[in-house]
Amino acid sequence: ETGVTQTPRHLVMGMTNKKSLKCEQHLGHNAMYWYKQSAKKPLELMFVYSLEERVENNSVPSRFSPECPNSSHLFLHLHTLQPEDSALYLCASSQEVYADTTYEQYFGPGTRLTVT
Amino acid sequence: RKEVEQDPGPFNVPEGATVAFNCTYSNSASQSFFWYRQDCRKEPKLLMSVYSSGNEDGRFTAQLNRASQYISLLIRDSKLSDSATYLCVVNEVTGSGYSTLTFGKGTMLLVSP
């Protein structure tokens, strides 16, 4: 496997369910990200991790809970979601996240989530 | 709130046409600028970085105007395969010293035979 992979690719869940999205990067990067992409809206940054440490949390509701067990894996745990949370959830990685240089971000294919 | 503004389009052009997209950004402290491309139901991918002096990559030319805070992308000799959404992307530095990216909503390009 190369690049950034995400599973599942599609997910339908009820508002009372608990599910997890998984992301894995095979690029040797130190930074990983979760984004939300809704129709007619720009990509919204949700969380940023640098070497397994969360460094940014963009006012995301607590029903979204990230986990980064190591620099290659990132999870997004979901519980009691709302229908407006239906969107494409994209994982990305980059070499670093520090301010002196902005590195290209490589995206996974995304998980298309529908909350019913 | 820091924003990146783009005309959503769609821009409908015939093959072989030249088309230009503009983008404006609100954060004057931004230092890095990019164009990403996103095909329908796919993930975004880096098309090119945008440098202060302007840069060209084949049929694609990117320009940056810091004084006016806008970025442009010019595509010459459009191909059917250029049909996609083009995302203008600008870096932001957080209070903690980390560099993150702010994305525009994208401009849709449709190239027809």
Chain A residues within 8 A of B87 when measuring between CB atoms: 42-43
Token couple for B52: 């202060």
Give me the residue from A43, A45, A99 closest to B93, CB to CB: A99
pLDDT band at A58 (very low <50, low <70, confident <90, very high): confident
Q: Would you state the pLDDT for residue B31?
A: 87
Residue B92: the pLDDT is: 86
Residue A22, pLDDT score? 98
Nearest to A98 among B34, B43, B97 (CB): B97
Nearest CB to A97 within list B99, B103, B104:
B99
- The chain-wide mean pLDDT, for chain B, equals 93
The predicted structure's pLDDT at residue A1:
57
Q: Which of residues 25-44 of A touch B (CB under 8 A)?
A: 33, 40-43
| Predicted pLDDT at A31 | 94
Query: What mean pLDDT, rounded, does chain A reach?
Result: 92
Rounded Cα gap, residues B54 and B65, in angstroms = 9
Dump pLDDT digits (tens) for B5-49.
Answer: 999 999 999 999 999 999 999 998 888 999 999 999 899 999 999
Whether residue B56 has pLDDT greater than 60: yes
pLDDT recorded at residue B87: 97
With a CB cutoff of 8 Å and minimum separation 6, the contacts of A70 are: A52
Distance from CA of B99 to the nearest CA of A (A): 5
**Average pLDDT in the A59-79 region?**
95
pLDDT of residue A102: 80
Q: How far is B34 from chain A (nearest CA, A)?
A: 9
Distance (Å, rounded) from C-alpha A18 to C-alpha A15?
Answer: 8
Task: Determine the Cα–Cα distance for residues A51 and A96; give it in Å rounded to an integer.
Answer: 9
Give the number of beta-carbon pairs within 8 Å between A and B: 56
Nearest to B23 by CA among B68, B83, B57: B68
Residue at B27: amino acid letter = N
